[in-house]
C-alpha cells in the first residue's frame, strides 16, 4: 500500500496493492497500522454508501459540528473527486485537489476535517463508500457552491444534475464570513 500526501497538507492518496489470479483478486483497502505510520490516526464511527447516475454532481459538502474526516473509495464506476481546503489559516486555503478514481484502480483518499468534498459521474453511474470519523449531524453540516468561480474546479460535466441544496449553496467567501468557519484550523 502506497500512501502519498497531496499538495494540500493532510490530504492523502492511498493506493492499495491489488493481488489476483484466475480466481479473482484481493485488496487490503484499509490498514490502520500503515495509516498511523503515515501520520493518519482516525477513529471511524460511521460508513456511508452513495450511488449516483451519470452526470450527477454532489458537493461541495463538509461538516463543522462535529468536524469529520473521510476515508473515501470508489466501488463501482469512474468518479471525478474534488476536495477544497477551507481551513482559514491554511497556506492552501481555497486550493483544490482533483482526481478521477475508478473502482478498478482501488485508489482511496484520506480527506481530513477542514476540506469540502464533492464528486461527479462523467462516464456512467458510480458508487462511492466513505468512512466518517464523526457521526453525521444535519444541523452541523454545510456546503459551498460547486461551481464557485473563486475556487475554479475543473468539473468534467458541462450541465450536471445537481440537488436543490447544492444549487443554493453559498460561495467560499460566504462560508469564511460565518463564525462556524472557525472550527477548521491547521
Closest CA to 174 of 109, 99, 86, 92: 86
Is 130 designated active site? yes
Catalytic residue (one of 61, 71, 96, 183): 61
By CB atoms closer than 10 A (0-12, 13-18, 19+), residue 118 is: buried
φ and ψ of 178, to 5 deg? -80, 140
Is 136 designated active site? no
C-alpha cell of 57?
454532481
Catalytic residue (one of 49, 71, 96, 130): 130
User: Is the CA virtual torsion 48, 82, 163, 185 positive or negative?
Assistant: positive
Return the active site residues: 61, 130
Amino acid at each position: 500500500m502506497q500512501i502519498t500526501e497531496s499538495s494540500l497538507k493532510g490530504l492523502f492518496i492511498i493506493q492499495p496493492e491489488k493481488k489476483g489470479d484466475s480466481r479473482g483478486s484481493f485488496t487490503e483497502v484499509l490498514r490502520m497500522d500503515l495509516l498511523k505510520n503515515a501520520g493518519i490516526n482516525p477513529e471511524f464511527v460511521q460508513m456511508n454508501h452513495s450511488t449516483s447516475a451519470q452526470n450527477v454532481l454532489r458537493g461541495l459538502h463538509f461538516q463543522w459540528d462535529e468536524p469529520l474526516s473521510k476515508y473515501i473509495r470508489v466501488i463501482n464506476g469512474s468518479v471525478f473527486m474534488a476536495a477544497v481546503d477551507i481551513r482559514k489559516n491554511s497556506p492552501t486555503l481555497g486550493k483544490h485537489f482533483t482526481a478521477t478514481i475508478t473502482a478498478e484502480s482501488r485508489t482511496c483518499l484520506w480527506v481530513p476535517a477542514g476540506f469540502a468534498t464533492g464528486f461527479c459521474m462523467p462516464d456512467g453511474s458510480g458508487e462511492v463508500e466513505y468512512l466518517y470519523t464523526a457521526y453525521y449531524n444535519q444541523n452541523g453540516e454545510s456546503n459551498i457552491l460547486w461551481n464557485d468561480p473563486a475556487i475554479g474546479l475543473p468539473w468534467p460535466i458541462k450541465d450536471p444534475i445537481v440537488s436543490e441544496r447544492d444549487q443554493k449553496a453559498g460561495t467560499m467567501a460566504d462560508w469564511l464570513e460565518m463564525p462556524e468557519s472557525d472550527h477548521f484550523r491547521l
